[in-house]
Amino acid sequence: MERFTDRRVLITGAGSGIGRATVHRVLNEGGQVVAADINEAGLAETAKQAAEQGHGERLSTVTVDIGNEDSVKAGVASAVETLGGLDALINAAGILRSAHTETMPLADFNKIITVNLTGTFLMIRESLPALLASSKGVIVNFTSTSAFFAHPYMAAYAASKGGIMSMTHALAAEYSKQGLRVVAVAPGSISSDMTDGKGPGLPEDADLSLFMKLMPGIGQGFASPDTVAGVVAMLASDDGAFITGTEIRIDGGTHY
């Protein structure tokens, strides 16, 4: 399949995990991609992998701190100039922190909201003029199963992802008559830098029994980032042309 031939795509969180997997999926399907991340080493590795796969000429990178307005303005402007326009924005960047809510510092709560929710807003705001100028503009946001179901010790993360989900619905309605689609994916039970190893940094005395209901209902353990990348590619392509203002859960049946 080459669903992204002649399509220009900006992907955040592209230095690792699901963002990186999405970069490779879109490149494999013929897209022109600008990969964005705050992690320069991660971006370099993404670019190296793309070159090894024979797609290096269709990939550019830009360092962006999505929680910083000036950085987003400069990064999006650079991406649009490099691509000569923009057809799709994929907001995969985000952070996850865990804590007992009664001990969480305000600075940590605000950091999560700033990166996940405000960062998604900033990327959208700065990309909208170029997306609206496209005849096939689409935004794919990343919410989470934590926006629907209890994820203990992750109240701040859940709040940020719930905000993204609500914002997705509002934007889809606001820009529907201008031909822009806005959709979201809600991953859960996906192996990534957020969940592997120490993962979200759970409190040492965390009650792990609270997480039993978060185990996937199919397969063995967590799925790979490619599982999400495939759904994102569908939504951002013409195959998702009749999908907007909603979200798709990708969680292996964690919550039947």
Contact indicator for 214, 154 with CB cutoff of 8 Å: no
Cα(65)–Cα(39) distance, rounded to whole angstroms?
9
Cα(168)–Cα(120) distance, rounded to whole angstroms?
10
Burial 141-160 (b: 16+ CB within 10 A, else e): bbbbbbbbbebbbbbbbbbb
Q: Which is nearest to 122 in space by CA: 79, 64, 175? A: 64
Alpha helices, H only, the chain: 17-28, 40-52, 69-83, 106-112, 119-133, 155-175, 225-236
Cα(62)–Cα(112) distance, rounded to whole angstroms?
22
Known catalytic residues? 157
Cα(27)–Cα(50) distance, rounded to whole angstroms?
8
